[in-house]
Chains A and B, each alone.
Chain A
Amino acid sequence: MLNIDNLEKPAQSSSVRADRLAWGGLTRLILMGLSLGACCWLASAAETKKSEGPPVPKLKKNNLAPLASGEKAVASHAPFEGGDCSICHQSKEVQNPGPLTAPVNEQCLGCHEEFTGIMARKSSHGAAQASCVNCHNPHNAKLPKLLVEEVGTLCLSCHESIKTLVTQSKVKHGAIDTEGKCLNCHNPHAANVEHLLVRLPFDLCINCHGKDGVKDGEGKPLTNFKTLLAENPEHHGPVSSKDCSACHNPHGSDHFRLLSLDYPSQFYSPYDPKLYALCFDCHEATMLTTPETTTLTQFRDGKRNLHYLHVNKADRGRTCRACHEVHAAKQPHQIRDAVPYGSKGWLLKINYSPTPTGGSCAKTCHATRSYNNSAVAEPASKK
């Protein structure tokens, strides 16, 4: 953060304010030139990274001149505030401080030396690597941290694809409009997690979704995941890997619960692979479409595929969550304890009991039935 003490000096000193209109044009040109140079640098980076990862955004040029006389600064850079132009510029003349004594980032890191370490983290922001003044005004600003624009606007002015997602998605994420906005999850300089995430996704999400009383946009209460995961030791793979983004798009989505792909919102749903796109993004779709198998699933009685049997129905096909909890459960494979039945919210027990070679479900949607997957598994694996 360029503002040396954050919001320590909200007002401008009169001596500096008087000289604002006479701000050295040469310096302004140099700073703008650096900003434009950064644009070219990132455009070239965009070309080389085209085939993988997110598109590298283009930068815009900022007006880095001090605020005009009469405009109220919320943040002011200490050397500028003190009229010590020669800390950064070649001259101490306030009216014409001349060129910088060193390139912008070298200049900034001279005092903000902790950023040498910060920018060496695994994931760093191209805009910050290129030039601090892509986001900060080195003199003063109407916004905290000497930002040239308000956080959301500033970030989305370059990250256009995220802007589209944020503004046009049917399902919005409250975190994007709350307090720090983008900074709720991202460090704008550099981070130890990809995509400039401050922590691993789950450790970020849990900050809000680890409490009681959080509601979605329609006022429906949301799960407290701290409690859920503590009480249910069998976690879905992405949960174990702390990767909520495997299934949810935190910037916005057209699917309920910010899911990144299709997944039926109803308990009963006719089988259609498109409806299960989210699950099939990682899980094998053939597991549900092959009547007999010895390799695609362990949920089979001999060769008879019981996933196929349960799901592949034209009318009352069960969704994945009819039998599996999506985040965590007490039983292996996230088999749920009970399923909601009828309109009164009654929970029908599944009574699943695992065995080394299969398991059984008792007195549930059907009478007690067991399965054994061992009989034909070994010959298949010895091919």
Chain B
Amino acid sequence: MKASFSLLVAGSLLCVTAAWAFARAPIGGVIENVELTALDGSKCPLLSNATANVFVFFKPGQEHSRTTMIHLATCEKEMAAQSVRWVAIVSDRFPKAEVEAAVKETGIAMPVLIDAGDALYGKLGVVLSPVLGIADQDHKLVAYEYFTKVNFTEVVRARIRFLLKEINGQELERVLNPPAATPSVDADVARRRLKLGEQLFQKKSYEKALENVNKSIEKDATVADAYALKGQIFAVQGNKDAARGAFAEALKLDPANATALEGMKASGK
């Protein structure tokens, strides 16, 4: 079971990364740690010995880049205490003032490295902007993500947290393939009827409480609490046989149901 789940996770990771983002840097390959000049003129390595190295290629003046960097600025702040190193990479085709304006607008704090002559773009085979790579502390590329309009930040955050071992494969899978938010099912409707029945019982409106608990059971006959409530209603109405029958049903479904055990005891068995 565990093995098949691992295969499932590996399959979904492969599925997402199979598409072409870094044409010359395969997943699992080691990224050469080149040194580039940062926006402030200092020399800065692409990668560090942090547990997670996140590097993002972006373009000033491009809406997708702007949105991505705004989201990443938030992630950067959230993960400030973790062993995550962030860098942004921009082509030297863009004027420095334009890059500085983009940095200011998006609020990123990470160093911005200038890719002279698009050398790094060429080395990795980067054909998209924005695109983000994640490497581990051995500089092995573990994932990349290109821009998506839906759940981008959520996925990036989860991939980093997976590398940091903060979440497991199952939790990562839940982010990559989130469960559907389907509408209410019969069990939900049954629970509502039961809750209403409980409130009506407390207000001593026994007939209406019984009507609602019966509707609850019609929708979902597997809830011990519904039969236990039915037993309580019968008990206060003086119908001991019916009460015992309902409590017995509740105990079949949940032998430890406290209301049913108590009710059964009170009704003489």
Contact = CB atoms under 8 A, between A and B. Distances in A.
A239 B196 CA distance: 46
B119 A381 contact: yes
Contacts of A296: 118, 121-122, 127
Interface stretch (B17-25, B164-172, B228-236): B17-25
A5 B216 CA distance: 10
Given A297-B127, A298-B23, A199 B180 contact: yes
A240 B119 contact: no
A237 B23 CA distance: 12
B215 A200 contact: no
A333 B19 CA distance: 9
A203 B177 CA distance: 10
Contact of B122 (A114, A245, A381): A381
A101 to B, nearest CB: 11
Nearest to B93: A286
Contacts of B147: 246, 282
A3 to B, nearest CB: 10
B178 A193 contact: yes
B98 interface: no
Interface residues of A, number: 63
B67 interface: yes
Contacts of B145: 241
A10 to B, nearest CB: 15
A112 B191 CA distance: 8
Given A122-B154, A245-B149, A294-B122, A383 B200 contact: no
B19 A84 contact: no
Interface residues of B, number: 59
A148 interface: no
The 7 closest A-B pairs by CB, nearest first: A295-B122, A381-B123, A192-B178, A191-B181, A240-B19, A243-B148, A111-B195
A98 interface: no
Contacts of A193: 150-151, 178, 181
Given A4-B192, A113-B195, A381-B123, 20 more contacts: A4-B193, A5-B215, A78-B196, A82-B208, A87-B200, A87-B203, A92-B203, A113-B192, A118-B181, A193-B178, A197-B181, A198-B181, A200-B151, A240-B15, A246-B149, A281-B62, A282-B129, A283-B128, A294-B122, A380-B117
B183 interface: yes
Contacts of A84: 200, 203, 205, 208
27 contacts: A4-B192, A4-B196, A5-B189, A8-B215, A52-B71, A79-B196, A84-B203, A87-B200, A122-B154, A191-B181, A192-B178, A192-B179, A192-B181, A193-B181, A203-B180, A235-B18, A235-B19, A236-B19, A237-B146, A239-B19, A241-B19, A243-B149, A246-B148, A281-B62, A282-B146, A296-B121, A298-B23
A143 interface: no
Nearest to B211: A82
Contacts of B150: 193-195, 197, 200-201, 243, 245
B161 interface: no
Given A113-B191, A380-B119, A194 B181 contact: no
A207 B134 CA distance: 33
B184 interface: yes
A138 B99 CA distance: 53
A113 B192 CA distance: 7
Interface in B104-144: 116-123, 125, 127-129
A243 B179 CA distance: 16
Nearest to A189: B181
A243 B189 CA distance: 33
A86 interface: yes
A209 interface: no
Contact of A87 (B62, B64, B119, B199): B199
A208 to B, nearest CB: 16
A110 interface: yes
Contacts of A381: 24, 119-120, 122-123
Interface of A: 1, 4-6, 8, 51-52, 78-79, 82, 84, 86-87, 92, 110-114, 118, 121-122, 187, 190-201, 203, 235-241, 243, 245-246, 281-284, 286-287, 294-298, 332-333, 377, 380-381, 383
B220 to A, nearest CB: 12
A281 B191 CA distance: 48
Nearest to B122: A295
Contacts of B174: 192
A213 to B, nearest CB: 25
A238 B16 CA distance: 9
B123 to A, nearest CB: 4
A236 B127 CA distance: 13
Nearest to B187: A114
Q: Which of A51, A92, A295 has the most CB of B within 10 A?
A: A295
Contact of B127 (A235, A245, A283): A283
A201 B15 CA distance: 16
B212 interface: yes
Contacts of B180: 192, 198-199, 203
B189 A86 contact: no
